[in-house]
Every structure is written in structure tokens, then in C-alpha cells.
Chains A and B, each alone.
Chain A
Amino acid sequence: MSSEALLKSTYTPAPLHRFKVGDKVVVKHVFPPGHRRTPQYIRGKQGIIERICGAYPNPEELAYGFDGLPEKVLYRVRFLQMQVWPGYAGPMNDIIEMEIFEHWLEPAGAK
């Protein structure tokens, strides 16, 4: 087994994370310029935290040659398709999931 196998687990929770699995969150409905990994179609939508992926260098900084530090906590968030696309044609249980960095999330119900 090489030393690669000893790397920290992909799923090691970030030590300081604002949300936990199952929390209801809303993706910020903002449109700042620059390199963003939060798709436009999901901004303003409500979902729940599916898992905590760990903490990673901020891609919004990396894209411009910075070191991306401090790392940002990355979550996977689950959304109901019916709540993402008003005209969604499939069954109401269909879901879509994606990765959202912590600074893009607010607790659901907060203003």
C-alpha cells in the first residue's frame, strides 16, 4: 500500500462547519462577477445538507492565482427538482444534488 492510501479521508468533516447533515439551507440569490462554482439555476433555491465534503481552497480565489486560503467548507446539498424547476415534468420525488461552498449558504428561514 503506498502512502497515498494514508491520505486524510475525503469525507473528514471540516472542524468548523456552520451546517450539519439534514439542515435546511437556502443558496444565496446573488450574482457577483467572477469565477463561481455555484450554478445560476440553483441560486435562491432551498435544499438540505446531504453531506459535508470537507474544506477546500476557495475556487473563486484559485481562479485568479491566489492560494484560495483559508479553505472553505464544501457541502453537498440536495434539492427537490419540483422546487428547482417550476415546470418540472417528472415525479415529485426526483432530486438534484450539487456541491455548494459554505459562504453561499444561509439557514432556511433567515433573511
Chain B
Amino acid sequence: MSGIPFDYYARSHHDHAHDHDHDDHAPTSEHDNGPPGEYEIMSRAMQELLEQKGIVTAAQVTKRMELFDDEFPYRGAQVVARAWVDPAFKRRLLADGRAACAEMGTMLEAERLIAVENTPDVHNVIVCTLCSCYPRALLGMPPTWYKSRNYRSRVVFEPRAVLREFGTVLPEDVTVRVHDSNADMRYLVVPMRPQGAEGWSEERLAQLLSRDTLVGVTVPCVP
């Protein structure tokens, strides 16, 4: 068994979805202080058993964790940037998110994706009130606030107040459409392409698409 710290995923990941500096992902963390918690011990024991039975290898687990850190968090932005430059792709994404992602080579494993489009009339925001369902294969691990009781309980009945706390103030004539991601589907917001980004490449456009814009708590803007 390798020395992988198993509270790894408990850390708050990527406060800024486009911070590509991964120096802070070395496998040492603030959680190295103190004894392992009950769940960490259970998790380690489970992995050891799975390794002994030949079901997984430590290398596979490590590779999986690297995907969550280095690849998954950026896929959502790539998909939406493509939708911004390619209207036909956007139509396919809105019609069948999983198939459109596959077309880009982005495989969603078991996730079934519903992409919802912001328009001048409708603003979408995603929550999972029951737990923390999240499009992990497109956005990586959910941020701490997404899993918080505060966000999960409030955004369903006072979405405008919660959005305001994220700095997103919407006019009364814009319909707020909350999606409770409560069962088998996962959701991705396709924000409106901001003014001032005309003629930009997909790569550059993707830089505008932070994780928060794809959950719908903020909107992208040209800095």
C-alpha cells in the first residue's frame, strides 16, 4: 500500500478553476497533522483489501486521483467554449450532453448530462439538495460551498439572495431556473458568451469559464 493520504478528496479543490499551478497538489497537506480519521482508516483498509484481491492497483487509484486534479476540472470549460464557437455543436450539446461530450473525446463514464443554456431571459443554477451530485467528470470535485447545508437548503427557495452573495444580481424579468440534481442526471450550465470576447479562440474563451460560471452562481465576463 502506498502512502497516499486518503483524506485527499476532503480538501477543498480548486478555488479558481483555471489556476493551472499545481504545485500545491503535492501529496502533503494540512491534514497530515494529527491522526487519521475514522473514514480515512476505513478507506485505506478498503483499498488494501481491493488490492489484495487484485481488483485495483495502487497505480490505478493514483491515476484516478490525478485525473480528478489535472483533467476533469477543465473539461466543462472546454465543452462550453466549443459550444460558444460552434452553434451546431451547441445544439447537439443541449439535445444530448453525453453524446456531444463523447464527440469531443470527453467520456462521461456513467454520467448522463443535461446542459442548460443561459439566455437574456433565463438564468440557470445547479444544486443537489439531497447530497452533492455534481458533474465530476466535467468539473472535478465539488467545492466545499456546493456541499454546504447553507447552499443546498437556501438556493432552492431563495436563489436570488444566494446568487447575490456570489455577486450575481439578476433583473426581475430574468427567470431564475433552479435545477435540483436529485437523481440520475448531472447538469452543466452553458453561460452566455460575454461582450468583448468576439473572435477569441476556444482556448482563450475557456479561460473565461470558471467552475462557478458552469454551476451558474456567477456569469463569465471579460476582465
Contacts and interface: CB of A to CB of B under 8 A. Distances in A.
Interface of A: 1-2, 4-5, 7, 9-11, 37-39, 41-42, 53-54, 56, 59, 74, 76, 81, 84-85, 88-91, 93-101
A39 B107 contact: no
B172 interface: yes
Nearest to A95: B177
B98 A7 contact: yes
Contact of A98 (B98, B99, B102, B182): B182
Interface of B: 95-99, 102-103, 107, 112-114, 129-130, 156-161, 172-173, 175-185
Contacts of B183: 37, 56, 59, 74, 98-101
B139 to A, nearest CB: 18
B158 A9 contact: no
Contact of A97 (B99, B112, B160, B178): B178
B103 A94 contact: no
A8 to B, nearest CB: 10
B107 A2 contact: yes
A11 B114 CA distance: 9
Contacts of A11: 95-96
B67 to A, nearest CB: 16
Given A5-B102, A37-B130, A53-B112, A99 B172 contact: no
